[in-house]
Amino acid sequence: MFAKRRGLVALACLALIAAAAPVAAETTPVHSQRTVYEVTAADAVARTKVARTGVDVLGMDGDKLTVIAEPSQLRALRSTGLAVKSKGDADEQLAQLGKAEIGTLDFPSGYTGYHNYAETTAELNQTVADHPTLARLQTIGTSYQGRSLYALKISNNPSADQAKPEVLFTCNQHAREHLTVEMCLHIIQRLTDGYATNTAIKALVDSREIWVVPSVNPDGAEYDIAAGTLRGWRKNRQPNSTSTGTDPNRNWGYQWGCCGGSSGTGSSETYRGPSAFSAPETQRVRDFVNSRVVGGVQQIKAHIDWHTYSELILWPYGYTYNDTATGLNADQANAFATLGRQMASRNGYTPQQSSDLYITDGGINDWMWATHKIWSYTFEMYPKSGTGLNGFYPRDTAIAAQVTRNDTAVDLFLGYADCVPRVIGQSC
């Protein structure tokens, strides 16, 4: 009840804000001019050189990175010495994707099958109403703009804290990655609706306590659709000293800002924030995860953070190219890679250590693993490649196939979640 009431209060506040100042303050252009470039970068060192310039890396396919750079970033991008090819104006591409009525705070036509924040909230409440013995909704705190951050718990006795391995799914750290919200909602729907009739699902739910956070960054996600067009927004909506937004996935507190895998410039899409956990959203998820240490033992054993796009499965560490490092030994690296590859063989994604993509510091997986020994993966969903920001906006007709595609990988993950080393024949 408490969680529900807080959700309603937050919604009411948002409705008031929307009524008083209908997105006016939120429509000011924040990007001077964004151009899409294709950069040829054959290895992780080359890709890290690109990421280091602070440009917005959208995706990777083969030896090609798709990035967006503003004019002020172009010199740095060119000075990497890599082949850089212009692919056109990013916002013109976006404008072609569709337009809803200004101020609708909703997806344009072709995208209405995606859940906005109010619809996500309603869906979560409906799940609990339909399955009160399987699902329980709680609020883990609020976003910068005051939206409730929801965690839905799925178990065969959700109001009790059972002595069972716990699993966490987080979605939508990055605002424009709306397909990930659908992934989290699909996981919820499949595990709850399937429980009564599917014995494999029943066995998984009976033996685990499963937490799902469908939107870590609701402010960013709502901003992304608030003008009736799709904006390609990535970060949260917290003002910084020069601009707006912190990249949540550079704001986590393990090796924060250590290694050139994030930006110190407020306008950059990979701005790490003024300090680790400066973003309310990462703080809240951190506090929730910390709160699952019971009797000195972290209950959450495994975690997937969902992103788009490039169809990849990634594991720690992201801050170093080394396969092993402090807190990550060869057996653990082997277990990460083995389960990662097995999951990839089920969904057709490409499995690799996350720094094989490019170095990132302050990412969620490194913190989960280093701080809590949670087996933490990133899944970069559909599509495999895009020609610009459109990669973040597959039409809603793609949702069903792309979330269902991950079912068997998720089942494998849930099956091993009590003891990931079992995948390499070790016990826990």
CB nearer to ligand 0X9: give 45 or 160: 45
What residue is closest to ligand 0X9 based on CB? 318
CB nearer to ligand 0X9: give 189 or 352: 352
Residues 297-326 that bind Zn ion (CB under 5 A): 307
Which of 70, 177, 182, 380 is the catalytic position?
380
Least CB distance from residue 378 to ligand 0X9, whole Å? 5
318 binds, among ligand 0X9, Zn ion, none (CB under 5 to 8 A by kind): ligand 0X9
Binding residues for ligand 0X9, per CB under 6 A?
174, 249, 307, 314, 318, 354-355, 357-358, 360, 363, 378, 380
Pull the structure tokens for residue 361. 């510091």
231 binds, among Zn ion, ligand 0X9, none (CB under 5 to 8 A by kind): none
220 binds, among Zn ion, ligand 0X9, none (CB under 5 to 8 A by kind): none
Residue in the block written with tokens 């998720």: 410
CB nearer to ligand 0X9: give 254 or 358: 358
CB nearer to ligand 0X9: give 228 or 318: 318
Least CB distance from residue 79 to Zn ion, whole Å? 26
410-416 own/partner pairs: CB under 8 Å, 24+ apart: 410/187, 410/304, 411/200, 411/204, 412/339, 412/342, 412/343, 412/346, 413/167, 413/302, 413/304, 413/339, 413/343, 413/377, 414/167, 414/204, 414/208, 414/210, 415/204, 416/302, 416/339
363 binds, among Zn ion, ligand 0X9, none (CB under 5 to 8 A by kind): ligand 0X9
Least CB distance from residue 309 to ligand 0X9, whole Å? 7
Least CB distance from residue 177 to Zn ion, whole Å? 5
User: Residues touching Zn ion: how many (CB under 5 A)?
Assistant: 2
Compute the distance between CA of residue 176 and CA of residue 178 in angstroms, rounded to an integer: 5
354 binds, among ligand 0X9, Zn ion, none (CB under 5 to 8 A by kind): ligand 0X9
Q: Hey, how many other C-beta atoms are within 10 angstroms of the C-beta on 237?
A: 24
Least CB distance from residue 296 to ligand 0X9, whole Å? 29
Per DSSP, the residues of 74-116 read: HHHHHTT-S-EEEEEEHHHHHHHH----TT--SPPTT-TTS--
314 binds, among ligand 0X9, Zn ion, none (CB under 5 to 8 A by kind): ligand 0X9
Burial 77-89 (b: 16+ CB within 10 A, else e): beebebebeeeee
Are the beta carbons of 55 and 68 closer than 8 angstroms? yes
Least CB distance from residue 385 to ligand 0X9, whole Å? 12
Are the beta carbons of 315 and 340 closer than 8 angstroms? yes
123 counts as catalytic: no
Pairing outcome for strands 350-353 and 312-315: parallel
CB nearer to ligand 0X9: give 219 or 361: 361
350 binds, among ligand 0X9, Zn ion, none (CB under 5 to 8 A by kind): none
φ/ψ of 346, rounded to 5, equals -90, -30
Among candidate residues 134, 151, 167, 421, the one with its CA nearest the CA of residue 298:
167
CB nearer to ligand 0X9: give 195 or 277: 277
CB nearer to ligand 0X9: give 357 or 403: 357
176 interacts with Zn ion by CB under 5 A: no
Sign of CA dihedral 31, 32, 35, 40: negative
Least CB distance from residue 418 to ligand 0X9, whole Å? 25
Compute the distance between CA of residue 347 and CA of residue 192 in angstroms, rounded to an integer: 22
Residue 342 host element (H or E): helix 330-347
Burial 296-316 (b: 16+ CB within 10 A, else e): eebbbbbbbbbbbbbbbbbbb
Residue of 34, 131, 174, 231 that binds Zn ion (CB under 5 A):
174
DSSP H helices in 108-234: 117-130, 179-193, 199-207, 218-225
Residues annotated as catalytic (active site), given as ranges: 380
Residues that bind Zn ion (CB under 5 A): 174, 307
